[in-house]
Amino acid sequence: MKPSSLRTYVYCPRLYFFESHVRRERGLLERLRLALGRLYHVLAGIVDMARGRVVEEPLEARLGDYVFVGRPDAWRVEEGRLVVTERKSGRGPRRGVWLSDAAQAAAYAFMLLRSRVRGANEATLEVGYAFGGVRRLRLTEDLVDIVLRAAGEMRMVREGVVPYAYRVEAKCSICPYRVPCEELDRSLAPPEDGEIYEPGSWLASREPALDSR
Ligand code: SF4
């Protein structure tokens, strides 16, 4: 389980479903955007290294029933407190941090507290937006619950359960799966009793952002 995949699930569970089950070629614009994002990370990583932070270190840690693997952009310990930095080449919300970015940073912090950083019980999550500056959050139990709940549902989705489509025009207008996603919704028969639990539907009440602290 990768924290970056967890971020995709929290951003839109249905998008994670497509990325898990559909192979597709990336278009030129998408590849260009990814290359620019990578360049942004490399430049920011050089600055972080110069400041004495640990940059893109490979990690593996067990959280509950799940093994997480990934590379946080940067981390450090300040006065006994772990500080995890996650860089985003996009725009931040007006206040706080997008929940998907907070969940990814929380997974890295949790991994570091389990595997690398002894003696630190608390963590600060620092999300640096290319357009929006640096926002900070505490790692809370609520965020850890979000990570573990999402991880459990991601397993079901990889096995084929179709999850919630988090329809927001700003997301769907740039989504490469928009057409199949809408077709899938049309083909899904509503249940007879009118009630069904869609994995990931709880996320709709959690957006748009967490407050900075
Ligand atoms: S079209 Fe919208 S709801 Fe469907 S997968 Fe893409 S982002 Fe999610």
> What digits encode the pLDDT tens for the residues 165-190?
999 999 999 999 999 999 999 988 77
Residue nearest to atom 5 of ligand 1 (CA): 15
**CA 172 – ligand 1 centroid, Å:** 5
Q: Is the CB of 7 under 6 A from ligand 1?
A: no
pLDDT digits (tens, 9 = 90+) for 10-60: 999 999 999 999 988 888 988 999 999 999 999 999 999 999 999 999 999
CA distance 26 to 17: 17
Q: Is the CB of 198 under 6 A from ligand 1?
A: no
Domain 3-187+196-210, what fold? Lambda Exonuclease; Chain A (3.90.320)
**Ranges 63-77, 80-94, 194-208: which has the least confidence:** 194-208
pLDDT digits (tens, 9 = 90+) for 101-156: 999 999 999 999 988 887 787 999 999 999 989 999 999 999 999 999 999 999 99
- What atom of ligand 1 comes closest to residue 18's alpha carbon? 5
Q: Where are the domains of the chain?
A: 3-187+196-210
Q: Are 4 and 70 in contact (CB under 8 A)?
A: yes
Which residues make beta-bridge pairs with 87?
128
**CA 161 – ligand 1 centroid, Å:** 16
Q: Is the CB of 10 under 6 A from ligand 1?
A: no
Residue nearest to atom 7 of ligand 1 (CA): 172
Q: Is the CB of 184 under 6 A from ligand 1?
A: no
């990570």: which residue's tokens?
A: 147
**CA 47 – ligand 1 centroid, Å:** 35
Q: Is the CB of 15 under 6 A from ligand 1?
A: yes
Q: SS3 helix, strand, coil % of the chain, rounded to 5?
A: 45, 20, 35
